[in-house]
Amino acid sequence: MHVISVPHAFNEEELFIDLRQALGCPLFLKCEGFNFAGSVKLKAAIEMVESGERDGTVTPDSILVESSSGNLGVALSVIAASKGYRFICVTDSRCNLATRLMMEALGSTVHVITDHEAGGSLLAARLAYVQGLCDADDRCVWLSQYTNPANWRAHYHSTAPAIARGFPELDVLFVGAGTTGTLMGCARFFNEWHRPVKIIAIDSVGSVTFGGAPGRRMIPGLGMSVPPPLLDKSMVDEAVLVEEADTIRTCRALARRGFLFGGSTGTIVSGATDWLAQHQDTPVTAVAVAPDLGERYLDTIYQENWVQGLYGSRQASGALEPHLPRPHVLLERSQSRTPVGPRPH
């Protein structure tokens, strides 16, 4: 029995899904969405705030400010409400309506950057607005998930050890790349582990994190329009870039099996299943980190009009229909790195 007095005291850490029955794929999915923030970002949020409290950066009269595409904003809203801080989230027009409403319900102030304000770079505009808030009021504390080492430390001390406990024979770990906090925390942990683990980063086509060309990205969560400062590429064995159409298709396929996941999880599962399908030699133990659940994507990924607006009615009704792949044989660990780039179609 769990009895808690603050929302961040509860986080389901030991839940994994075996995707062999759902998708025919030899992959275990670590579900990170079962907490009061609904995503893996609760871990980074509490670590960043409490690190600031310990070093005196965050004081009782501080106003927390952060740039977020959604899930970290919700997590910080939960923490701020629990601890009595004001919180201002600066997001952009890609943020889901449900996410914005959730932050506001928790008492946060949400400022939405528009395309016109951004001048073509939503993230740059978000960061500039946050900097302006800090310049105008010295009570504002920018937690800076993009540069704050507490972001990756949260996963070094929690996410990765939980995976290691559950899978002592782990061979391959798939982790999404956004700010790269989760990726770097897990990579650093397994770099020190008793056996080699191949770290595969999953990113979105249109992200520049691993040298890809910048492009339109409509699903918030993974991907960056500038190189993430936290990233150490030497700790990443390979990177797989996933088209957003494949994200949508995978999310819908999982939903047809009763698992309603968010866009980041759909991207990671899509990239992981593709990688595993291309490395079918001998069995491996493979785990992927699922950052989010799907309720906040009901008006986007799971909404036909939204998909039709992106791809047209023919694509939405045909090519983007979910499909359930045939089972794959368990796979061998690859011994060589492959170039980063979009998956072949």
* Inter-residue contact 231 to 145 (CB < 8 Å): no
SS (H, E, C) 28-92: EEEECCCECCCECHHHHHHHHHHHHHHHCCCCCCCEEEEECCCHHHHHHHHHHHHHCCEEEEEEE
pLDDT tens profile 68-123: 988 999 999 999 999 999 999 999 888 888 899 999 999 999 999 886 554 557 88
Kindly indicate whether the domain formed by 41-142 is annotated with CATH number 3.60.15.10.
no
Tell if the pTM clears 0.85, that is, is over it. Answer: yes
pLDDT of residue 123: 83
Longest dimension (CA), the chain: 59
Place of tokens 């759902």: 22
Amino acid, res. 181: G
Task: State CA 62 to chain mean position distance.
Answer: 27
Element (H, E) at 242: strand 238-242
> Does 260 score more than 70 pLDDT?
yes
Stretch among 53-62, 86-95, 198-207 having the lowest mean pLDDT: 86-95
In the chain, residues under CATH classification 3.40.50.1100 are: 7-35+149-319, 41-142
> Does 163 score more than 50 pLDDT?
yes
pLDDT of residue 330: 27
pLDDT of residue 193: 95
Distances from the Cα of 128 to the Cαs of 37, 40, 81, 157, 285, in angstroms?
A: 26, 26, 25, 32, 43
CATH number of 7-35+149-319: 3.40.50.1100
